[in-house]
Amino acid sequence: MPRDLPVGNGSLLVNVDHTGQIRDIFWPHVGQENHTSGRVCRLGVWVDDRFSWLENTSWQRKLRYGKDSLTTDSVLENKSLNLRLLLRDGVDFHENLLVRQITIENNDNRDREIRLFFCHDFSLSGTTVGDSAYYEPSTDALFHYKGKRWFMISLFRGWPGNWKFGLDQWAIGVKRINGLEGSWRDAEDGILSGNPVAQGRIDSVVACHLQVPAKGQVSCWQTLAVGLDFKTVTTINKAVLRKGPLTFLERTAAYWRLWANKERTTFHRLPSRLVTLYRRSLLILRTQIDNEGAILAANDHDIAQFNRDTYSYMWPRDGALVAATLIDAGYSELSRKFFDFCHRVITDQGFLLHKYTPDGSLASSWHAWYKNGKPQLPIQEDETALVLWALWRHFSRFRDIEFVKRHYRGLVIRAAEWICSYIDKDTGLPLPSWDLWEERYGIHSWTVAAVWAGLQAAANFAEAFGENELSMRYQRVAAAIKTGAQKYLYHQEEKRFVRSLLVDDKGSARDMDMVMDSSLIGLWVFGLFEADDPLVVRTMEAMRRRLWVQSDVGGMARYENDYYHQVSDDTEKIPGNPWFICTLWLGQWCIAAATETEDLHPALECIEWAANHTLTSGVMAEQVHPHTNEPLSVSPLTWSHATYVNTIIQYNNKLAELTANDE
């Protein structure tokens, strides 16, 4: 199930699902820990002795964000109840505080009492063992806690200068044990038990009673303060009491508008909705980035239903590509922290491992250290190389000399030296590793291009720091890689590059993997070959023919007969599900190869495709169903939004260049 509206501040991330209800609460890191374990925290309405949770099909929903902001602006209408809810959610940009403003519009011709019920289905730190909750009378609030994880729940009503706080009802109860579903069931008659304490597998509900005039509206605010202890959360709550919850929503909306418009970029003849989605994608990217530097792949917990694991990790490859986009967009503060993170976690040998948790610990992996009686590095070599490539991109854009200085020896040279040691002496190509899709072990065109780019970056750094011999050595190894790529990765009969060289049981890699794969774009994206090189052109034209999805949805598949979330056996027409990044990659090639403004039309079509297949909120999934456009896998995917932003930047720059040439 997609997360339609992520809101966060780099420490506290809250995901709102398609019903308008909370599904994930991550803290103290984005992606670590999930205090709901993906279970819904319901929001319900009682009126005229009738009750409805927001997941009920009687609700019609328009879920969206405010303009250029990370505060939401959603509308939910229930005609059978004759009312409408206006939802504004935001995580304060500075404090670890969630504010939810619910405005009730009473469409009836009579005054009515309407009660809102907020359920909290917590599993603090990912487990219910040891959870505790209690009602505290002096603050008229409810607390959930375990160790150094504290959550304070308060309700407010009124208006600026006349704020009132307190719970009209509450209940804490046992959930999903001994036949008890949870205290949320207690709400469905409109009356809560008032049970003041419980421990273990528990949930809670609080209620706000509102008198809403005929054809009028009244607002209620729920706040959730998060911290390490009682003092921290009550201090945050005192600030809300003093300033009012609306202040925190408004200041957060203003902050993100400022952030999204940081760079005064002029967009040349781009439709306004594409520019709006550009800024929306930047904001969604920010929700997936931890303040300590980890760029998370995705934070949609529902993927855990398939293999009991998630995408809430920092893959160095994804992170480097996202960081490169942030660099191009002008957000050096975020890219700096990412490179700091990579420097902290790189091994002494000089390579980065599969993936990491947001706190820098080694994450779960399916890459083995041992196979067929021999040791094997469990790595994807592009992950190490692309960090160097992105760091040079950062330095070229910002000339951040003192920042790069502290990473030169321990990150750049350490990684470059290892890359030079991890070379097949017979072919000049990198030794085998896992591909970027984490499915095949071999020598891959994408990885070869990434390694070449990483060495070029290291050579540039070495030259800049006056180590010319080192620079020349890196350039020699890179030159041998390019020669090897032309010799071993190009199929003369097919007249195109191949995906990989397959590895046999003895570790030898000679047989060509002929499956068409969108990752072949790496050959020109990272500069190993030019986009208009005839070898590249023939490869890309073959890719477009064989990977475009022949359905009403369209879009580019990842590779031929892609099994991941596969929904169609007709691989001739549906080679795989359409992916946002793959479709946008095709657009990027059209941009790179364009020599006239007319050549950009196919690129714009790819950008339009991405915009047309997002959720209403602007969220992009990893992939979509080839017939229904339903989001598949995780949503949002950070990489999808970064690729969209990057494609818009490339399109805008190329259009400006070609327009200037025409003049």
The amino acid sitting at 387 is V
pLDDT greater than 70 at residue 508: no
Task: Give the pLDDT of residue 475.
Answer: 98
Q: How far is CA 333 from CA 14, 268, 281, in A?
A: 23, 27, 17
Tokens representing residue 407 in the block? 């990473």
pLDDT tens per residue across span 427-469: 999 999 999 999 999 999 999 999 999 999 999 999 999 999 9
Q: What is the CATH number of domain 42-260?
A: 2.70.98.10
- Coil/strand/helix, residue 341: helix
What average pLDDT does the segment 392-398 reach?
Answer: 98
Q: What is the pLDDT of residues 48-107, one digit of tens each?
A: 999 999 999 999 999 999 999 999 999 999 999 999 999 999 999 999 999 999 999 999
Dihedrals phi, psi of 173, to nearest 5 degrees: -150, 175
> pLDDT: is 326 or 507 the higher one?
326
Nearest CA among 149, 122, 172 for reference residue 230: 149
What are the start-end ranges of the H helices in 399-444? 401-407, 414-421
Q: What is the pLDDT of residue 634?
A: 94
> Residue 605 and residue 614: Cα distance in Å, rounded?
15
Which CATH code is given to the segment(s) 313-544?
1.50.10.10
Structure tokens at 172: 């804490």
pLDDT at 246: 96
DSSP 3-state of 84:
strand
Give the per-residue pLDDT at 47: 98
Q: What does DSSP assign to residue 597?
A: G
Is residue 313 scored above 70 in pLDDT?
Answer: yes
**3-state SS class at 643:** helix
Q: Tell me the pLDDT tens digit for each residue of 336-387.
A: 999 999 999 999 999 999 999 999 999 999 999 998 889 999 999 999 999 9
Report for 161-165, 244-248, 308-312: range of highest mean pLDDT: 244-248
Q: Determine which of 246-255, 451-460, 653-662 has the lowest per-residue pLDDT on average.
A: 653-662
Strand partners, 46: 51, 115
Q: Which residues pair with 203 in a beta bridge?
A: 173
Confidence of residue 559 (pLDDT cuts 50, 70, 90): very high
- Tell me, what's the pLDDT at 507? 60
Give the domain ranges of the chain: 42-260, 264-291+548-663, 313-544
pLDDT confidence bin for 505, thresholds 50/70/90: low
CATH topology agreement for domains 42-260 and 313-544: no
Residue 16 pLDDT class (50, 70, 90 cuts)? very high
How would you classify residue 633: left for phi > 0, otherwise alpha for psi between -120 and 50, otherwise beta?
left
Contact 354, 381 (CB under 8 A): no
Confidence band of 304 (pLDDT split at 50, 70, 90) = confident
Residue 536 identity: V
Output the pTM of the full model: 0.97
Lowest-pLDDT range of 191-200, 225-234, 306-315, 637-646: 306-315
Question: What whole-number distance in Å separates Cα of residue 622 and Cα of residue 344?
Answer: 29
Asked if residue 41 has pLDDT above 90, the reply is yes
